Amino acid sequence: MGSKERIARLKDETRNNILDASLDIVKEEGWQSLSMRKIADKIEYTAPIIYEYFANKEGILLELTRKGYLILTADVKKAMNKSEESAQQLEYMWIAYWNFAFENKELYQLMYGVDMNCCELKKSMPEAELADNMFYDTIEKLIDEENRTEDFVCRKFYTFWSVIHGLISINLVNKGRGQEMNQHILRDALKGIIRFINE
């Protein structure tokens, strides 16, 4: 490996260490506790080194948000590929979304502003649309041709999202009714929306 490749690899490692340390701090202390100084202390670098990679804390939040959307998209795509039948795909996809939220609680909070000041990062990030587009496309397959307008598909997407996001938010902020009850509520909601998707 040449020196340029080695330097590039070391820069990538340092950048990833900064992101990993940031997420570790958040998992231990919450989003409000994240600071450039804490990140530097955690990875035993000086603060100016952190600033070489990220101009400010918002730059770190932006990169973590992007990372969250990429993980979510991969999870949703994997779930979608479990079935050829659109209704079943949609159920699997929303369950993958749900699972992502609880397996990556801190990233989900950042991505969707749950229990924290919501960043306006999503608007400027193409990665944020990847999973949304898969949901839109799958919903569209279930909608009768006479209803298949952009507004109708959008309305159905937001019906799904508001129910799933609402359940997730309730459970992230105040513990809900327990895992088994939550799974029943989630599946009931998904089946109900899918059953009446053309209304």
- For residue 117, name the pLDDT band (cuts at 50, 70, 90): very low
1-54, CATH topology level: Arc Repressor Mutant, subunit A (1.10.10)
pLDDT score, position 182 = 83
The structure tokens 């990030």 sit at 125
Contact of 23 with 64, CB cutoff 8 Å: yes
Domain range annotation of the chain: 1-54, 65-195
pLDDT at position 21 over 80: yes
- For residue 14, name the pLDDT band (cuts at 50, 70, 90): very high
Contact of 90 with 139, CB cutoff 8 Å: yes
CA atoms within 13 A on the CB side of 198: 9
Determine whether 69 is exposed, middle or buried from the number of CB atoms within 10 Å of its CB (0-12, 13-18, 19+): buried
Q: pLDDT for 44-58, tens place per residue?
A: 988 888 999 999 999
CATH superfamily of the 65-195 domain: Tetracycline Repressor, domain 2 (1.10.357.10)
The whole-angstrom distance between residue 92's C-alpha and the CA centroid of its chain comes to: 16
